[in-house]
Structure formats: structure tokens, C-alpha cells
Amino acid sequence: MMRPGALLAVLTAALLAAVPVSAADPRLVPDVSSRAIDIQYSFTGEELLLFGAILYPGQRLPDQRADIVVVLKGPVRPIVLREKRRVAGIWVNASSIRLRTSPGFYAIGSSRPIDKLVDERTAAIFELGLANLSMSPTGFSEAQKLQRFEAGLTDLYRRSGLFVENPSAVEITEGVLYRARIPVPARVPVGTYRAETYLISRGRVLAVASRDVQIRKAGFERFVALAAQRHGFLYGLSAVFLSLVLGYGASAVFRRR
């Protein structure tokens, strides 16, 4: 986590040195407390700080207060959702839907609730909120079926900490500096994440900025993951051999007892 003194120095330098692209539009200068998160055997989760500054033309604050929305999302991947039903006392797969662009993690924080900031159309365009995620479904024919599957996925990921909504996560100081803390759970998938910041005023998105965040395995976990990806056959043989050795060793110990 970045220390408060270092954070203040970064933001002060940005305010003094940055120049707006357009004389009429504000700019965002965003950053994150860590550009890379390493997952090791002892990883129990982390808190990512998204912070930055709002640069207004002429350094003059507008009469209307501006709001900030931050989103941490990734990695996007295709998944298949299956619905189970009980038939003749046996649970079987009844139907399924394939989602081509489902995020493995999605967290959104804002200075006020999203429905107080923008209308439904704008929220859908920028995918602000869990209800507005575009997952590109295929293989379905009924809207109710799609809603049921997406609601089930959202509920499952919410309980796992992989989908998060916090309408009061963003703090804005003096109308210029903002910060928000995003919890990253231990079960977060590895990959490239996008930390996005939206400046909103009077129902309009005035500025958007983003930073990339890498979540990766480290240490022995990284070695095992790379071995499985690059040398799948040898990895499988090694796993079988190790299982046989451990099983034989355990049986020998119990026979002696």
C-alpha cells in the first residue's frame, strides 16, 4: 500500500505539471497502489487503492459537484453455465448458456449510487454496475432464461467476493482528489485487469481514464502453473507418479503400525 506522504507527492506533482487536453474539458490523473499483485501459498487477499486527481480548466472548480466511479474488471473469458434439474431422483444437466465475455472479477465503487449519477442508457453503455454487464450470451432463445442464468452467476460470484458493488467507496477531497479501496479476494483469477475511473457530472460522463493491473502467481505456484501450461503431458505423468509414490508410502506406514 502506498504511504500517505508518497500519495500526496504524486498527486501534487500531477496537479502542477499536467495540462488539460482541451480548454473546456476536465482531465483525470489516475493511479493504483500496486500495478502487480503476486499470489503465493500464503495469499489471503489484498486491498487495492485506486486514487487520483481531477484537473479542471484554469484550476477552477465547477459550481455543480462532480462524482467519481471506479471499476476494477478482468480477466474476460468465455464460460458455460449449466442448469441442473432433478429427474427421476437424479440430478442432470437440463440446459446451458455460453457467455463469451464474462469477467472473472468485477468491482465497482462510486461516490454516490449509480442510479443517482446517470440514466439507464448511459450506465448500460459504460457497463456501470452488475446489472449492466455485457457478457455476450450465445445459445439461448428466451430472455427469461438468460436473466435467470445471469442472476444465478451474479449471486454465486457475489457470495465468493468476485462481484462487488459499493455505492460509497469513493471519497473526494476538496472536489479534486479522490480515492477508493477495492477488496481483492484470495480466489481472484490471474490475468490482466483494467482499473477504470469515470468523472460524472449532471448525468454525463465527462472523462474516462484507466490503468492496467496484473494479478499473477508467484513462487512455487507460478512454477506449477507454467509447467502445466507448457508441458502438459510431462506434468500429468509427474502428477500420477507422485500420487503413486505417496499412496505406496502411506500404505507402507499403515502396514507397519
Q: Residue 95: which pLDDT band, with cuts at 50, 70 and 90?
A: confident
Judged by DSSP in three states, 249 sits in helix
Q: What is the average pLDDT value for the chain, to the nearest integer?
A: 81
The pTM of this model reads 0.75
Among residues of the chain, what percentage have pLDDT more than 70?
A: 79
10-51 tens-digit pLDDT = 443 443 333 344 457 789 999 999 999 888 777 888 999 999
197-233 tens-digit pLDDT = 999 999 999 999 999 999 987 655 555 555 555 666 6
DSSP E strands in 56-190: the ranges are 67-87, 90-110, 137-138, 163-166, 170-173, 177-184
**Residue keyed to cell 477508493:** 180
Return the pLDDT at 41. Answer: 77
pLDDT(4) > 80: no
